Amino acid sequence: FPIFGEGNTPAAIIAASVLLWAVHFLVLRGIKEAAFINLVTTVAKIVPLLIFVVIAAFAFRADIFTRDIWGQSNPQFGNVLS
């Protein structure tokens, strides 16, 4: 968000403080709520990684990846070892 700039604007500091205190009060409510928040954040981190792996697996083309890896057809580019 442009309003947060590089993280050193007043809006960014206020938003970070509000988020920090919100998480603090959620943890104060009890271990079950804290565990739920931990589960939600873990899933939010893992899902994009899994989506990337699936897309990369389907989009990977070995013929392009290994095309002329030893530099035989265009010697001025060199090969992998050089």
Query: Could you write out the DSSP letters of every residue in 62-76?
Result: HHHHSTTTT--S-GG
pLDDT value at position 58?
A: 92
CA-to-CA distance for 64 and 23, rounded, in angstroms? Answer: 47
Q: Which two tokens stand for residue 62?
A: 């070995």
Global pTM value: 0.51
CA-to-CA distance for 15 and 28, rounded, in angstroms? Answer: 20
Instruction: Please list the pLDDT of the chain residue by residue as tens digits (82 residues).
Output: 888 888 889 999 999 999 999 888 888 888 888 888 889 999 999 999 999 999 999 998 877 777 766 666 766 766 566 6
Q: Which of 80, 52, 76 is CA-nearest to residue 66?
A: 80
pLDDT value at position 26?
A: 80
